[in-house]
Homo-oligomer: A and B are copies of this chain.
């Protein structure tokens, strides 16, 4: 079974491209492909139609850790959507390499790993433990774009 078939089998819905709520331009690529690498821009939690997912805000303020982990999973779905549009097939991804999980935290909130776990779990669920293995950092940010709860960037190997 290919990765794309697995995504369908799991019933995962990959969001449409990000529709910004403001007029700010985005003069960069959501996925930059070069040689056997795809560099993935910081993605935000999106609804299937590409609008920002709710709830927004800081972990331990307006967003619980469980909601944050769910948001991190949705960031992963948005990323898979961007990768599928850019690569044609997710099957071209041969290995996940590096993940930077940036969590919007209230003062004193240190449980960022539990939030980013929502992303890691999705990647392992879809790609398996060999191909989906990745290095990772999880850190607490002062602010994120549009006040989202989590933003994640990554790098993968492609064939």
Q: Which residues of A contact B (CB under 8 A)?
A: 24-32, 34-35, 37, 39-42, 95-100, 102, 105, 107-114, 117, 120-121, 124, 133-147, 151, 153, 155, 157
Contact = CB atoms under 8 A, between A and B. Distances in A.
How many copies of this chain does the complex contain? 3
A105 B34 contact: no
A151 B100 CA distance: 12
Contacts of A113: 24, 26, 145
A137 B34 contact: no
A39 to B, nearest CB: 4
A117 to B, nearest CB: 6
A139 B42 contact: yes
